[in-house]
Amino acid sequence: MTIKWYPGHMSKALEKIADLIKRVDVVIEVLDARLPMSSSNHQLENLRRTKPWIKVLNKHDLADPAITKAWVRVFEQQAGVRALPMSSKQHAETKQLIKLCQLLAPKRGKPGFPVRVMVVGIPNVGKSTLINTLAGRSMAKVGDKPAITTTTQQIDLRNGVVLSDTPGVLWPDMADQEGAYRLAATGAIGANAMDCTTVGFFAGEFMMRRYPEMLKKRYKLETLPDNPTELVESIGRCLGCLVAGGGIDLHRAAEAFLRELRAGKLGRISFEEPVQAPVEPVPDEENPANRQ
């Protein structure tokens, strides 16, 4: 199945972002730390020009820590770009983001001249959660479905920083279908635009290849099945996704598997790693790929 998802509001949102970016001092692009390349919208990069750009690798607590470190090194080799791994739900971690914005716009932040910051990114990477954490109150709608935010709004953080919240925007062509399936596996694609079972098979094949021990431990498997279909069947059996006669409901099993994967119940995983930088291993007790 070819994944295509570009709700009508996204085109208008991109036009609004292109206009707003001219009047901001710093841009924060929120990425999913598990797939920083696939969750980055190249159309937003094209609007950047010379603006200071902070790449927030959100949900880093769900990502493979060694690979996240490698991504930070790659991003910070780009001129004018800073990279910051964090969890948008953790207030202590988001404090450093405000300090970095102030550092990148030293002529602003005075009374009457706040640092103007715009938050951008694709759907369901945690932009609204980040804004609510920074504001210390609920200012943006959040949910576990993509495209919750559909309009822009401005929020005064009352600390010398004013945020512009923008809707999540994807790109219309979705030419990279492998990247699209990674996005679907992590929840960034609307459910009506994908086949959950097929995405479950895709995620299962990746996990069998990259993190087999996590699968064995979570679903009590002595050995891995021969293919992703049999894996999802085994997961369905473990999670009780049964139909009359004892068969497996593959759709329910795939949905349950994806929910667990997205919630980090299998462990900390990354769907992609940079080829430009070697991944330095972390100690065995910290690296989820080495856990038995």
Question: Are residue 146 and residue 244 in the same domain, yes or no?
Answer: no
pLDDT bucket at 275, cuts 50 / 70 / 90: confident
Residue bearing the bigger pLDDT, 114 or 15: 114
CATH code for position 232: 1.10.1580.10
Give pLDDT, residue 233: 97
Token pair 């279909």: residue = 229
Residue bearing the bigger pLDDT, 30 or 43: 30
Question: Are residue 116 and residue 227 in the same domain, yes or no?
Answer: no
Give pLDDT, residue 286: 47
Residue 6 clears pLDDT 60, i.e. is over it: no
Would 178 be classed as within a structural domain?
no
Q: What are phi and psi of 27, to 5 degrees?
A: -115, 130
Residue bearing the bigger pLDDT, 64 or 121: 64
Residue 279 clears pLDDT 50, i.e. is over it: no
Would 70 be classed as within a structural domain?
yes
Helix ranges, 211-282 (H): 212-219, 228-239, 250-262
Question: Are residue 161 and residue 44 in the same domain, yes or no?
Answer: yes
Question: Are residue 159 and residue 24 in the same domain, yes or no?
Answer: yes
Question: Are residue 96 and residue 146 in the same domain, yes or no?
Answer: yes
Question: Are residue 100 and residue 201 in the same domain, yes or no?
Answer: no
CATH code for position 65: 3.40.50.300
Residue 173 clears pLDDT 80, i.e. is over it: no
Average pLDDT of span 35-41: 91
Q: For residue 52, which of 75, 18, 81 has the smallest C-alpha distance?
A: 81
Domain of 221, in residue numbers: 195-290
Give pLDDT, residue 92: 83
pLDDT tens-place string over residues 235-267? 999 999 999 888 999 999 999 999 999 999 999
Residue 218 vs residues 64, 187, 261, 263, 269: alpha-carbon distances, Å: 17, 20, 11, 13, 14
Would 2 be classed as within a structural domain?
no
pLDDT tens-place string over residues 156-170? 888 889 998 888 786
Range name among 76-80, 121-125, 213-217, 219-223 with the lowest pLDDT average: 121-125
Give pLDDT, residue 138: 60
Q: Which pairs count as long-range contacts for 225-231, CB under 8 Å and 24+ apart, including other chains? A: 228/200, 228/201, 228/202, 228/204, 229/201, 231/204, 231/207
pLDDT bucket at 3, cuts 50 / 70 / 90: low
pTM above 0.75, yes or no: yes
Question: Are residue 151 and residue 52 in the same domain, yes or no?
Answer: yes
Would 188 be classed as within a structural domain?
no
* Residue that finishes a domain, picked among 149, 165, 181: 165
Question: Are residue 157 and residue 214 in the same domain, yes or no?
Answer: no
Residue 146 clears pLDDT 60, i.e. is over it: no
Domain count, the chain: 2
pLDDT averaged over the chain?
85
Would 256 be classed as within a structural domain?
yes
* Residue that finishes a domain, picked among 144, 165, 186: 165
Would 171 be classed as within a structural domain?
no
Would 173 be classed as within a structural domain?
no
Residue 150 clears pLDDT 80, i.e. is over it: no
Question: Are residue 149 and residue 251 in the same domain, yes or no?
Answer: no
Residue 289 clears pLDDT 50, i.e. is over it: no
Give pLDDT, residue 148: 45
Would 49 be classed as within a structural domain?
yes
Question: Are residue 13 and residue 158 in the same domain, yes or no?
Answer: yes
Residue 97 clears pLDDT 80, i.e. is over it: yes
